[in-house]
Amino acid sequence: MDSLDKSCNQHVDRIKLKEERKLRNKEKKIAKKLEKQRDREQKELLLKLQLRNNNVTLITQDFADKVVGGTSAAVAFHRQESFSNVDFPELTSAGGKVKRHQFPTPYVEINDKKKLSKLELADFIYTPSTSTKQVKIASTPENYNGNPLDSDMPIRKRGKHKETPKPKSPSKLKRDILNELNDCEKIGNTSSTYLLLETALCNNIITEELDEAVKTFISGIVGLQEKLYNRDPIKGVAKRRYTVGLHEVKKYLHLNKVKIVIIAPDLKLTKRDGALYLAVKEIIDLAKANSVHYLFALKRKSIGVLTLKNIPVSCIAILNYEGLEDQFRNILKLLLLVRKEENLAASQTINNEVNIKFLNNLMDALKSK
């Protein structure tokens, strides 16, 4: 029984709440209607105060009091009204002497200037606009923050962020490279290092024209990326245009999102089958498998400066070059020319080696005879 009573009471309470809500909504509707009625009356008053039939409305003190008081009545005096000849005689008519009467004007002291209300004729004239064209107002982009009620305006973040992040441990590739360099230093053979440019992996000649073209291309890509990041940091990270580092380049090559790879030719190698040599070779093999353009240009330090980093960068992959299509085509043209020169130089060296071997064999045969 108690449970039934409770449920009945709850049902009654709900009905009461619904009725109260209906009453509140009715009151709101009535208030809105009154506001609309007031606005309508004000508009009608303004329309009555307009110029009609090119007649000028004379504003008297009574008229001003009525208008300021909010009444819709308007007292208008027109020039077309007839005036008496006694009060306003014609100039041509010969009248007698005019008597002058002096009436004392009342003197009123006004201490507060703010209480004075000035009324001008232009305030009561309504000129409708002839142009009906709607003008679009340019909306400024909104910069969202983490908490709009916070006065510090913190940056909006995505995911978890620690106040004191843990220091990153070096990757496997970096550990292998450091171990190889330490082994060379322990042996004392520091001259055993050589540049990537001296290996067969570098298949293009590095010219000043190619370096300049690559510089302008990378600086344009970085500028567009920074502009997007400053506008919206989350979009800047999600829609990145480039990535740097051997590990990141390899990752995006596996995802088949890379358009061109630029490798610095001044990488120091310790041995042929070392970790760095194999990493660069793997990147080149992946680029060939995915039919992605790759080239060797600039130095590690200059790539780091162009990408706004304080460290030398060995490799950069361009993921999106929209807006810089002309620079991209120019790099491809220069790359074709440079590779042709490299192939010609390689064929000439092979021919020279063959000729030298042939001459040596001839000399040996002649000596034996």
Q: Where are the domains of the chain?
A: 45-76, 172-361
pTM of the predicted model over 0.85? no
Nearest Cα to Cα of residue 211 among 281, 264, 283, 259: 264
More confident residue, 129 or 283: 283
How many CB atoms sit inside 10 A of residue 143's CB? 12
pLDDT score of 15: 87
Q: Residue 112: pLDDT above 60?
A: no
Residue-averaged pLDDT of the chain: 75
Question: Which residues does residue 171 pair with via DSSP β-bridges, in sequence order?
Answer: none
Which architecture does CATH list for 172-361?
2-Layer Sandwich (3.30)
Per residue in 23-51, pLDDT (tens digit) is: 999 999 999 999 999 888 888 877 665 55
Per residue in 221-237, pLDDT (tens digit) is: 999 999 999 988 888 88
Q: Concatenated DSSP letters for 38-80? A: HHHHHHHHHHHTS-BTTBPPPP-HHHHHHHHHT--------TT
Per residue in 299-339, pLDDT (tens digit) is: 999 999 999 988 999 999 999 999 999 999 999 999 888 88
